């Protein structure tokens, strides 16, 4: 039974190493920054939907092109917190 356990461990180590190598990617700092901005915009849209974006679809697929629109809505109707979030999105 020891031989089978060793074979299984070797196989799992082999496929784990393959997956780790495949999943590694390099992002430029600009791409990483845009990913963070997009995640924050989506979060703000969900959080402030009832207050700022009630006239828009609730399940809108937000992209980088939508960030200025999200920031504008937060500035107009989001209060102090919305202003701060809009500032972070526009950096």
Q: Please give the pLDDT value at position 67.
A: 94
- Contact between 48 and 74 under an 8 Å Cβ cutoff? The reply is yes
Q: What is the pLDDT of residues 25-78, one digit of tens each?
A: 677 888 889 999 999 999 999 999 999 999 999 999 999 999 999 999 999 999
Other beta carbons within 10 Å of 56:
15
What φ, ψ does residue 58 adopt, rounded to 5°? Answer: -70, -30
pLDDT of 66: 94
Please count the helices (runs of H) and the strands (runs of E) in the chain: 5, 0
pLDDT value of position 69: 94
Residue 79 zone, left/alpha/beta (φ > 0; ψ -120 to 50; rest): left
> 26 by DSSP, 3-state: which?
coil
Q: What distance, in Å, lies between the first and last C-alpha atoms of the chain?
A: 60
Radius of gyration over every alpha carbon of the chain, rounded to an integer in angstroms: 22
């Amino acid at each position: 039974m020891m031989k089978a356990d060793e074979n299984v461990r070797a196989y799992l180590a082999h496929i784990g190493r393959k997956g780790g190598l495949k999943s590694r990617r390099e992002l430029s700092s600009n791409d990483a920054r845009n990913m963070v901005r997009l995640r924050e915009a989506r979060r703000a849209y969900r959080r402030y939907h009832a207050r700022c974006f009630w006239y828009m679809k609730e399940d809108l697929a937000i992209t980088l092109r939508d960030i200025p629109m999200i920031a504008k809505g937060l500035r107009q109707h989001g209060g102090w917190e919305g202003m701060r979030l809009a500032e972070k999105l526009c950096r």
